[in-house]
Amino acid sequence: MRAKEQILHELQANMFSDGRCNDQAREAIRLTFHDAVGRSHTLNDSGSFGGGGADGSIIKFADTELADIGNTGLEDIVLALKDFADNHNVSYGDIIQFSGAVGLANCPGSPRLTFYAGRPDAIAPSPPGLVPAPTDPADVLLARMSDAGFTPEETVVLLAAHSVAKQKAVDPSVPNVPLDSTPEVFDTKFYSEMLLNGTCYPGKGSSPAEVKSPSKNVMRLTSDAAIAQHASTASTWRSFAGNHDVMRAAFREVMHKLATQDHADLVDCSFVIPTPALLMRPPAVRPNTENL
């Protein structure tokens, strides 16, 4: 068995419950963003180190980066992937993007992400404050994403990852509450349910990182709700509600950008990423025309 296929086999068997969209898969997906978003044009232009993007710095410099409030809850997946990378002589940047692509592939309805290998070791921790927080107002979050190289539309696209996400740290009294009603599949309900009126909280409702949700079984993050309603992003948000094929294709494209920015000479190893199961849609309901 070739090295990359052996790594895939062991990831699936030991971390992802034999290829399931489990909680470790969700954490791996989340980690791809939190590592890669650590880059700043503003800092680079000023002559300071602006971060290396998808370089594995969140693992190599875990003591520093996990202290960032935006990285709360990633401790377990960082430790697990560090051990995995060390045991297989894989760079931290590569193992983060590889495990995220594999983890997403385990969630039915997801796109098959690309995976490019060959990232060098991170040279320094990502500067503090570059990871968006769930309490961020829309303008703050969009400015941070622009500084990282992403448009408002691309920011909405990246939030599709919340279709399979659960929360752990926003309200610890109700751990593992999902961010939409179908966390086992990659679908558009995250976008469509965000357009519903919020009426309740799944837990105590005392955190500034959440707002009222339409269901006690779903948590609505403050930052997600703000992006859904912002003038520069609301139209894109609505365009994904119920439009799975468009959302899926857009997510694949923007995730490729997220994973490969600032990295030249990477090798395309996408062949090793599994093909996700199709989203099982309910049968179409035909209108009754007999009496027309």
Question: Would you say 55 is a known binding-site residue?
Answer: yes
Same CATH fold assignment for domains 3-131+255-272 and 138-246: no
Give the residue extent of every domain in the chain: 3-131+255-272, 138-246
Rounded Cα gap, residues 269 and 109, in angstroms = 22
User: What's the CA dihedral at 15, 17, 21, 25 to 10 degrees?
Assistant: -10
Q: Which tens digits make up the pLDDT trace of 89-111?
A: 999 999 999 999 999 999 999 99
Hey, what are 121's tokens? 């070791």
Q: Please say if the pLDDT value at position 119 is more than 70.
A: yes
From 34, 230, 244, 263, active-site residue? 34
- 162 labelled ligand-binding: yes
| Ramachandran quadrant class, 277 (left: phi over 0; alpha: psi -120 to 50; beta: rest) | beta
Residue 5 CB burial class (10 angstroms; 0-12, 13-18, ≥19)? exposed
Asked if residue 63 belongs to a known ligand binding site, the reply is no
Query: What's the CATH fold of domain 3-131+255-272?
Result: Peroxidase; domain 1 (1.10.520)
Please check the confidence at residue 287 and state whether its pLDDT lies above 60.
Answer: no
Whether 43 has a pLDDT exceeding 80, the answer reads: yes
Q: Is 34 a catalytic residue?
A: yes
The annotation status of 187 as a binding-site residue, yes or no, is yes
Q: Distance (Å, rounded) from C-alpha 2 to C-alpha 196? A: 48
pLDDT tens profile 55-81: 999 999 999 999 999 999 999 999 999
- The pTM of this model reads 0.94
Q: Which tokens is 56 given?
A: 């594995």
Q: From the options 2.40.50.100, 3.40.350.10, 1.10.420.10, 3.30.1360.120, give the CATH code of 138-246.
A: 1.10.420.10
